[in-house]
């Protein structure tokens, strides 16, 4: 017992030094692992991912119903044709961009699918609720829902931008 009391200072110093060495080595190992993970993406891979995010941003802009009506010049079309033209356009845009899902997170891709489905449902609901089969009435209904659609699209774009900033951070 006297041996421990006389040498307790040495034991404390030894354990302290051992702890510092352990934590120093562990910290360096963790830094090496994180550097390997962050350097996994080459500059070329980052550019490809950024192009995919650009494409998906454009996709979100192009599937907004009121914007499609103006872009596709549907004001003179028969009311029966407009909903199907709009829905076909959304599906076409989606199919054109479907390969981009390999470059984005699963969560973001699910959000993009939800936005697409929400736009299709909005068009269907507005078309079904138009009373007198007037193109102007359909456009008015779509305009009425335009703020809601814009909010959904803006939220998806915000998530998209967060992912972009995560990948494009300097490592």
Q: CATH number, domain at 56?
A: 1.20.120
Which tokens is 79 given?
């009311």
Q: 6 and 71, same structural domain?
A: no
Distance (Å, rounded) from C-alpha 144 to C-alpha 138? 10
pTM for the model: 0.72
Who has greater pLDDT, 28 or 157?
157
How high does pLDDT run on average in the chain? 83
Query: Which residue's entry shows tokens 């079904």?
Result: 128
Residue span of the structural domain in which 4 resides = 1-40
Q: 151 and 82, same structural domain?
A: yes
Tell me what pLDDT residue 85 has: 93
Which tokens is 34 given?
């994180």
Q: 23 and 50, same structural domain?
A: no
Neighbours of 1 (CB within 10 A): 5
Which tokens is 152 given?
């959904």
């Amino acid at each position: 017992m006297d041996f421990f009391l006389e040498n307790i200072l040495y034991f404390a110093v030894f354990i302290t030094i051992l702890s510092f060495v352990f934590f120093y080595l562990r910290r360096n190992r963790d830094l090496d692992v994180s550097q390997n993970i962050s350097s996994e993406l080459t500059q070329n891979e980052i550019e490809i991912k950024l192009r995919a995010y650009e494409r998906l941003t454009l996709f979100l802009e192009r599937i907004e119903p009121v914007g499609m009506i103006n872009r596709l010049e549907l004001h003179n079309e028969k009311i029966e044709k407009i909903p199907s033209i709009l829905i076909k356009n959304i599906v076409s845009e989606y199919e054109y961009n479907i390969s981009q899902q390999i470059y984005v997170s699963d969560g973001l891709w699910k959000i993009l699918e939800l936005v697409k489905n929400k736009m299709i449902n909005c068009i269907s609901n507005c078309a079904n609720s138009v009373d007198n089969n007037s193109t102007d009435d359909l456009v008015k209904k779509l305009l009425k829902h335009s703020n809601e659609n814009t909010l959904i699209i803006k939220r998806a774009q915000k998530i998209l931008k967060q992912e972009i900033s995560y990948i494009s951070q300097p490592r």
